[in-house]
Chain A
Amino acid sequence: MGLTQSGANGAPRPTVRVSSAGDEARGTSNDSDDRAYVSRCRLGPPNQNCADLLRAGLEFLDLLNVALAICDSSSRLLYANQIARHILNSGDGLRIDHSGRLGTSKASSPVLSKVIRELAQANAAPSELRHVVIAVPRPSEKWPLIVSVLSPALLGDPMDNLMPAVPIIFWEHEEHRGIKQRSWCEGWDFTPAESRFANLLMQGHSLADCCQQLGICRSTGAFHLKNLFRKTGTRRQIELLSTLFRGIWARSVVHSGLTGAVVGLSPRVENNVGDLPASFSAEAYSS
């Protein structure tokens, strides 16, 4: 591939890959010192620009509307980004209990806290368990939250003790239900009517349903559909959906606003992220 590069001084740069599951699984030694080393050296020597990258990475998750929460082995919340706090505060699916532990509002199968504990322990004793996906039901009857519990990383506290931290990611499907018309316009040149039509199709509606919801007659709907096929270079509805969905995440970023200013933080959640330095909390980030 010929892209391997070396630094300006000719010395090879340290790799910064932060992949979790694969690399660690490939490592032969499971000695705890070794793991600490792996976790720390991924981002290279101490003085690198990891703070910049961290901030950019967090902004990025915000743009994509992806929630990230980090828990210790007993489900205690160590960190939550703003999207996560927003969902946790609403208590719709996931919530924080009075002892600062992450839990589900309704019973889920498998049980979230059990999965977190098992994954955190799997770090100490390697097993096949690396990544668990749970569909968490929501009291509001919205689409279930798909919660991915990832294999643990090691997180140092301010006293520099290392503990296993389990990253958990989820996102609000509703946010991606329809993306702004401007975003469809660019490149594909959908008209406003076509954009509305595309958004409805992506909710799983049939042609007839779409027409009914938009209050247009069937022939108009068929005309929109034909134009969508032409503009995306597809021939069938499923193919069209596949094409639309593949681009939606990237497109949603174009005009998505940062949520920093609008999300209210409840003191309850805020208190439970106290273990990380203040600079990780939302105030520092949103400034």
Chain B
Amino acid sequence: MTDHNGNGSNLRDLAAIVLGTLDLLRTGVVMIGIRGQLLWANRAAEDILNAHDGLEVDAKDCLHFSHGSCRFPVENMSTRTAVASSDGYGEIKYVHRPSGKRDLMVISRRTSYVGDGRDNHMPFAFVFIQDPDLAVHVSQSEMHQLYGFTLTEGRMANLLMEGSTLEECCRRLAIRPSTARMHMRNLLDKTGTRGQRELVCLLFRNHGLMNAPPVPETSNCNPDGPQRVFNIIHEARIYTWG
């Protein structure tokens, strides 16, 4: 497929949809080229990289460790395995964070196609970046749609997912223990679960992977919206679909 006139626009639209879906993931996702240069990053990854805490991007667009200022090791990956085998291949690293927060979990995995490996702009590897300190926050509207949670119930559900106890929920929400117990009963009733443990598992299973797309009202901190910093390497080229 070498078409940029007819199918090309369609391709671009579909790419926009697929990458838009990856933008919803709670895990940071980065696509890097063979030299370790950043080709694409989703929202969660941008937030992590913008924090300059553990992993960042250097002036040459390459993925870089904040600590010890060395590049993300891509070369190793190309020598170790030619192509991702069918039973999978990936590697977990823990990256120290100067701020003292828990280490970032960084998983790198080769893409299954790479051509001759000399193409700089071909996504060569995926890098997943998981911030263990990042709370999973489920949007109120999503919980309301699915389970009919009220606002306070939704807040409590989010606190429980952070690992809070009922006492902590009382303190953070400024409610009495009896009120908290009532909310807890409602949460269990509405989800059909039998205990705090099952409730947390259900919420994580249903909402742990994806964020709801941002709703304009909630983006309150910055009137101009988050700064979008990463761009696809911009270069005209003819592409041949293998």
Contact = CB atoms under 8 A, between A and B. Distances in A.
B102 to A, nearest CB: 8
A155 B14 contact: yes
A42 B229 contact: no
Contacts of A22: 213-216, 219, 225
Interface string A168-205: 01010100100000010011000000000000001110
Interface string B94-111: 100000001001010101
A151 interface: yes
A284 B7 CA distance: 15
A3 B57 contact: yes
A256 B88 contact: yes
Contact of B8 (A46, A169, A241, A247): A46
B21 A48 contact: no
B161 A242 contact: yes
Interface stretch (A97-105, A219-227, A272-280): A272-280
A243 interface: yes
A165 interface: yes
Interface in A15-70: 15-23, 25-26, 39-40, 42-61, 63-64, 66, 68, 70
A246 B15 contact: no
Interface string B11-38: 1111111111111111101010000000
Contact of B201 (A1, A13, A39, A202): A202
B210 interface: yes
B39 A53 contact: yes
Contacts of A7: 231, 234
Nearest to A55: B113
Contacts, number: 323
B11 to A, nearest CB: 6
A157 interface: yes
Given A14-B231, A15-B228, A60-B29, A243 B88 contact: no
A238 B163 CA distance: 5
A211 to B, nearest CB: 15
Nearest to B13: A155
B232 interface: yes
B10 A19 contact: no
Interface in A251-268: 251, 253-258, 261
A96 B219 CA distance: 37
Which residue, of A15, A16, A66, A156, has the highest number of chain B Cβ atoms within 10 A? A16
Nearest to B202: A204
A247 B105 contact: yes
Contacts of A40: 9, 12-13
Interface residues of B, number: 108
Given A54-B15, A176-B205, A238-B165, A258 B112 contact: yes
B128 A48 contact: no
Contacts of A155: 10, 13-14, 17
Given A5-B231, A26-B225, A176-B205, A68 B128 contact: no
B236 interface: yes
B12 A169 contact: no
A207 B126 CA distance: 36
A256 B208 CA distance: 18
Given A17-B228, A258-B112, 17 more contacts: A13-B232, A18-B17, A25-B215, A49-B235, A68-B21, A133-B142, A135-B146, A160-B9, A165-B17, A204-B193, A245-B208, A250-B105, A253-B109, A255-B89, A256-B88, A258-B86, A280-B14
Interface of B: 1, 3-4, 6-27, 29, 31, 39-40, 43, 49-50, 56-57, 59, 61, 84, 86-92, 94, 102, 105, 107, 109, 111-113, 121-123, 126, 128, 130, 132, 134, 136, 141-142, 145-146, 160-165, 193, 195-198, 200-202, 204-210, 212-216, 219, 225, 227-239, 241-242
15 contacts: A13-B232, A17-B23, A21-B216, A40-B9, A40-B13, A43-B232, A56-B123, A66-B209, A155-B10, A167-B21, A238-B164, A246-B134, A250-B107, A250-B128, A258-B88
